[in-house]
Homo-oligomer: A and B are copies of this chain.
Amino acid sequence: MIELLQNTFYSDIPITRAMNLQVLKYDGMSLTLRSPLVPNRNDKGTAFGGSLYSTAVLAGWGLLFLMTKERHIQADIMIHESHTRFMRPVNGDIEATCVFNSEEQIDRALRLFSRKGLARFHLNTTVTADDNQAMLFEGSYAIAR
């Protein structure tokens, strides 16, 4: 599944190749992506806010992509709204982890999706730097037939 997502990023969202974005970990309930610092640095030599955002938004997108693929559900996944707080600079590689709240969150949304062809997921993604939270990303995603 990790390889499928990695290939999808590189073929369908080409800027992820320039970012050298890598799919690190997936366990069914959470997904971690990494973007190395060098191609994603800013004027201060720390991680660029736009690359932090792209890595975070794709952690949620990728988690929904794999969740639907595993269930053989055909759906478009779109970001709809997001709120982002940058708490401290990221001096190394960007690691963003998105986690489902619960199995119940998935089940409830998929019941709605099977009835209406549309459901929303509110997902939080965190980026840590030196074991401290560096960025919080709250995303509202839609999955649609």
Interface string of A46-60 (1 = CB under 8 A from B): 001111011101100
Across the interface, which residues of B come within 8 angstroms of A86, CB to CB? 78-81
Across the interface, which residues of B come within 8 angstroms of A58, CB to CB? 50
- Determine the distance from Cα of A54 to Cα of B27 in the docked complex, in whole angstroms: 29
Across the interface, which residues of B come within 8 angstroms of A73, CB to CB? none
**Given known contacts A49-B79, A54-B53, A82-B83, A15 and B12 CB-to-CB distance under 8 angstroms:** no
Number of identical protomers: 2
Across the interface, which residues of B come within 8 angstroms of A53, CB to CB? 50, 53-54, 57
A138 and chain B: residue at smallest CB distance: B83
Would you give the shortest CB distance from A95 to chain B, in whole angstroms? 16
A38 and chain B: residue at smallest CB distance: B14
Task: Assess the A13–B43 pair: CB atoms within 8 A.
Answer: yes
**Given known contacts A12-B42, A15-B19, A19-B15, A82 and B81 CB-to-CB distance under 8 angstroms:** no
A105 within 8 A of B: no
A8 within 8 A of B: yes
Task: Assess the B13–A48 pair: CB atoms within 8 A.
Answer: yes
- Determine the distance from Cα of A43 to Cα of B81 in the docked complex, in whole angstroms: 18
A81 and chain B: residue at smallest CB distance: B85
Report A's interface with B, CB cutoff 8 A.
Answer: 8, 12-15, 18-19, 39-44, 48-51, 53-55, 57-58, 76, 78-86
